[in-house]
Amino acid sequence: MTSHTPLLYIETYGCQMNVNDSEVVASLMCGQGYAMCSAAESADLVLVNTCSIRENAEQRVWGRLAELRALKRKKPQLMLGVIGCMAERLKEQLLEKEQSVDVVVGPDAYRDLPNLVSMAKAGQKGVNVELLREETYAEIEPVRYNSNGVSAFVSIMRGCNNACSYCVVPYTRGAERSRNTQSILREVQALISGGYKEVTLLGQNVDSYRALAEDENGKTETCNFARLLDQVALLSPQLRVRFSTSHPKDMSNEVLHVMAQHRNICKSIHLPAQSGSTRVLELMHRKYTREEYLERIAAIRSILPACSISTDLIAGFCTETEDDHRQTLSLMREVGYDFAFMFMYSERPNTKAARRYKDDVPEEVKMRRLNEIIALQSELSLKAKLPYVGKALEVLAEGFSKKSNEQLFGRTSQNMVVVFPRGSHSVGEYLTVTPTRCTSATLIAD
């Protein structure tokens, strides 16, 4: 009689960093004898990796926990854990409100998960939300359990020191610390050996990456992000390299020149603006003015003329006036963003904004301003894609189209999605396609 292999199901909400964290957790638990499964109903242990960046993200998790509570009533032996940013921020509420939750683990305590699960099986609540200044999970090789086998995320740092007034990240992920350079290069090399064609280097603020590294003579020196980017690109000319997220106050010309030197570093930069008003940016504690942001845009356009630029925008931050809003719209037009993540301001408890400012913009005004931002970005996104119609573009095929298995989709170096006939081609191939038309979201090759 064979013993049962316990099954693990991980459900991930939020950012790319959470996706990578889930892969780290999978590695740790598989090392303890668990095997991954594709449905909560099949699992012995369900872990929900959570996001706290906006209230809506947390509400989705509360709703999902209610569903899992019902599942647990049918399957009492099921273990349920909440991990990630909500676990860090709402430990007490999770333990009090959700009696069905057995394990609560913050982003820096994943190494303790096997022990905490054992505690929960013995009838205790397994809880660890300690934030650690040194933890980077540097030597853990993530299990890419949900991967397309083509693209992978590689974390280069954790935490954040910027303390933007609206943001919970410093409170849920702790202080900024950079991962050892050699461990990053080893992970990327392993991905190349495993057939991966693209990596995205992840950090809350990649431009502030600083770590000790050895040069070719064995001498230890500080490695900044520009140098790390250069070393990753040199590992293989067939590997596409992306990164996220950059900060306007820290992105250097050195990084832009490294991007220009390597064909395999994708010409796409995500540079969050948040607002076009210097007054609002100061309240947000973003540490740059509108003019300084536009100087960074000018540098990108000068050094990387073919580079696409995307951004984050918040509508209705505390005290935002109609003039402030118009300045955001004018910034969008001046930059001509290819894409944007756009949100209404959502007050997060215990942030500087929640403590010091009144959330005084009415919800209906926030919504109207957000809709105006979305409408303008739709125009800008379409305008950005039109010049590529009729041009031969290199894309990396990443998967099947949502509409048909007879079509593939891939992205250009500029991060533009192209849908094209599958023909005899496969996921993972570099292909040259010529779009014949486009929408604001997609280039289409017939």
Per-residue confidence (pLDDT) for residue 1, from 0 to 100: 36
Nearest one of 124, 439, 393 to 267, comparing CA atoms: 393
Residue whose token pair is 């580079």: 307
* Per-residue pLDDT tens over the stretch 160-190: 999 999 999 999 999 999 999 999 999 999 9
Per-residue confidence (pLDDT) for residue 4, from 0 to 100: 84
For residue 108, which amino acid is it?
D
Per-residue confidence (pLDDT) for residue 220, from 0 to 100: 77
* Per-residue pLDDT tens over the stretch 293-347: 999 999 999 999 999 999 999 999 999 999 999 999 999 999 999 999 999 999 9
Rounded Cα distance, 112 and 127, in Å: 9
Q: In the chain, which stretches have pLDDT less than 70?
A: 1-3, 214-216
The domains located in the chain, with CATH, are: 7-128 (3.40.50.12160), 389-444 (2.40.50.140)
Per-residue confidence (pLDDT) for residue 227, from 0 to 100: 97
Per-residue confidence (pLDDT) for residue 437, from 0 to 100: 97
